[in-house]
Structure 1
């Protein structure tokens, strides 16, 4: 399998955002599969209907609206490579970068029916779902205080990649500082710690978490008498038992990083996971589910 690199490069995105609508060859977040040929278009700001399911009774895609900087790419596939091989390369690279899946499907009976493969194109213009072995995934990647929705569809002849960059994470991410965390603790006894990012469906902290960990270290160093519960939260996707376990493991990973990398006394920290049981927003939309996936600290 030929590796595809997913790179986080915000500086390049800022330069692109200065342009309104244009034809482009690619996007910094995704490197096309080796041997693919194509490009696409970029809109500085546009509406987008992301496909998050398929209604087999109505024979149409289920969508949720979002808005932001929209990049639409299409790459023709090398003839000798299968849909599955190409899609798995993209998916592996995305997962390693911290991709949080919203929905995925594979082939007729999962993505669409054999006679309704045009439903994806009709819903939002994504063109690669065109054969019985087509694959699709939509999810999110966080980077530098922003949130990108990434949709990848691989079909018989090529791969569609839609990237929608939003400002959904801006407010919280700007506040990643020891002073902001201390202010939240003093006011409410608990505070959300934005910027802690994990690999998809995993408790592995990503390198982008360093700024948030630095802030936690400063907070705990400046307040040597402060002891904390570190509490993991998830959305409602999956079983309750699984989400409780995942949220607990993610909280424990944060503590392990603070103890092993910063020398914080482990006795000052306690890991807890409450899964989806304390949501901040509705789990009926992806915006709400994204908000609910978080880590908080609580004064002990």
Structure 2
């Protein structure tokens, strides 16, 4: 097996100074070294855009399923060396990304896991992912820390080529989130409310993503250490989109946090009350992406 390495040095900050949708051709990405013997067939980067990440396959409806995220998007494709199998190439990339800290959300191998024999274009149809086209195709998607921020990685190997998509978000990577029961208690004591960093949601969705466990655990420890404490859990959004939709989205995100604390940690539901205020209480200007990213948050407030 040929050993790959995932590189992380000299990567630009992920706090974007522009929301440009401009596309440019590129020759690679600092996060990944191409498989030995492979030559880049195509590479493109969008400074800021939305991306539909495949995180599963619905065998009943025969379609790929996933979540929508946003950030700087890099898409790479290379032809496979003739003498290497799909399994070997994919295994090298998987090992390299896992060595770099990849937390896998979804992984599959071939017909019966990734898709069916008659639905091998499902990934291409979902988001243009080109490589998945044969019965021995392999695919994985996950998250890793990149320059202190959360990056999503999707990579797959088919009969002829390999696709690697990298989405660099403005969300803080879970491993670097400074959140603890003590920090939350201090914020509540000082201000009566505190933001809970590290609660992750897909774009325009209310389901908590993998990687939210650290933040949930901090709130759980706070409640355990203070058995008389009751909290409002308040969702906030940026100002993009319709006002009524944002109010609903923020409410549903707050409710998802309450549900997780009640169902996963066993807290009495009467101690937690979910509310959503949409864009009504921003922390920063809505004029920049960095400001909007700060405004998308969940806070806890003393009752």
Tell me, yes or no, if the aligned pair for 1:61 and 1:120 is still in contact at 8 Å: yes
TM-score (normalizing by structure 2): 0.61
CA distance in 1, matches of 2:174, 2:152: 18
Cα 1:144–1:4, aligned 2, differ >3 Å: closer, same or farther?
Answer: same
How far off is 1:25 after superposition? Answer: 1.2
* Mean Cα deviation higher: 65-74 or 3-12: 3-12
Tell me, yes or no, if the aligned pair for 1:181 and 1:193 is still in contact at 8 Å: no
Cα 1:16–1:30, aligned 2, differ >3 Å: closer, same or farther?
Answer: farther
Tell me, yes or no, if the aligned pair for 1:107 and 1:135 is still in contact at 8 Å: yes
Cα 1:7–1:193, aligned 2, differ >3 Å: closer, same or farther?
Answer: farther
CA distance in 1, matches of 2:174, 2:97: 25
Aligned residue in 1 for 2:33: 31
Unaligned stretches of 5+ residues in structure 2: 227-303
CA distance in 1, matches of 2:15, 2:129: 25
Q: How many residues align?
A: 212
Secondary structure of residue in 2 paired with 1:290:
coil
C-alpha distance after superposition, 1:145-180 (max 9, x if no partner): 21100000101111100000101117995x749xx9
How far off is 1:291 after superposition? Answer: 2.2
How far off is 1:57 after superposition? Answer: 1.5
Cα 1:285–1:93, aligned 2, differ >3 Å: closer, same or farther?
Answer: farther
Aligned residue in 1 for 2:290: none
Which residue, out of 99, 102, 118, partners 2:102?
Answer: 99
CA distance in 2, matches of 1:155, 1:168: 31
In the alignment, does 2:212 pair up with 1:291? yes
Secondary structure of residue in 1 paired with 2:209:
helix
How far off is 1:4 after superposition? Answer: 1.0
Which residue, out of 152, 167, 171, partners 2:155?
Answer: 152
Aligned residue in 2 for 1:228: none
State the superposition RMSD in angstroms. Answer: 3.5
In the alignment, does 2:93 pair up with 1:85? no
Aligned residue in 1 for 2:7: 7
Alignment of 1:167-178 (within 5 A): 167-169=170-172, 173=176, 176=178
TM-score (normalizing by structure 1): 0.61
How far off is 1:8 after superposition? Answer: 1.6
More helix, by proportion: 1
Cα 1:293–1:137, aligned 2, differ >3 Å: closer, same or farther?
Answer: farther
